[in-house]
Structure 1
Amino acid sequence: MSAAVLTQARPPAGFWAQRLDWEIDSFDGSVEARTQARDAVAAAGGSGHASHPSGHVFSAASERVAMTMGELTVNGLRHGGPPVTASLSRGPQGWLLVVADKAADRVPVPPGADLTAVGGLGLRLVISMSVEVGWCVEKDRKLVWALVGDMPSPSLMHRLDQATS
């Protein structure tokens, strides 16, 4: 699947047991979860890839996970209200973040092509940082999930390479 879309689908299967879980009821809680997620990925060896010539911060899985966690949890708080729950698990393809909120009736709106439009920029960041992004409804909760690869996607690598040119 291309990271260019937000699909309606359950999170990918085959991930190890959850490493971390959060219940987030404020924007400060989102910042704390983002920091803990970054630290967990860095501790697992996902803090950087020296082979990437850009040296850009987002070549590191830990930074892409942190950015994705921050965007998804803030969106959950804004659009679904507190508390939101979040989990981070490790699998063979990378890191799976799942954020759930109470707004099961509010479908996430994929970002349009217009960068000047209000809204959708957080999801655009999530999509660019991730290998796959999707959402589904389970019981009375909406889940938005992102699979962040150990290495940046080819399109993100291309943009990072262009940034250093």
Structure 2
Amino acid sequence: MKYIETKLKGCFIIEPSLFNDDRGLFYESYKKVEFEDQLGERVDFVQDNVSISKKGVLRGLHFQNGIHAQAKLVQVIKGEALDVVVDLRKNSPSYKKHFKIRLSENDHKLLFIPKGMAHGFLALEDNTVFVYKCDNYYDKASEAGIIYNDIDLNIDWVISADKLILSKKDLVLPTMKDLNI
């Protein structure tokens, strides 16, 4: 596997080694020892989640606060998604900056998102299957988010706003300024 740090400190693109033959494809999507060696820290994933979305569904930008903050390892196993990460760590050189990447079933890339970052994704195809590991359990009381169209973040979601499908909850998330982050 190849680990490439993004412009957000501690956030890595992971490109697995692919083995193709006449039977199909094989690759390792996660190997704890190698993963922790490359990141230089221990990460214990405790929960796996699966999201299946139709084209235009935008989920995010979400994060967990305090002791319930989550690091995530995300991947698209069917379809394609635009994945967006926002650094909310006040002591980080990339504080309030965002990074985005297309993840798809064709490239098999993964993205590691450390604690202290907001995360969201947009399904670019129908039946996009997005899977992710979390190193902390979901805690409803600790959930938070930032509105997808925050003016200061100025994220280009690649699909016009009138074609986006968001939950009622995601449509009323505060801006970063309102959160005082």
Name the structure with the higher strand share: 2
TM-score, normalization: structure 1?
0.27
Name the structure with the higher helix share: 1
Larger Rg: 2
TM-score, normalization: structure 2?
0.25
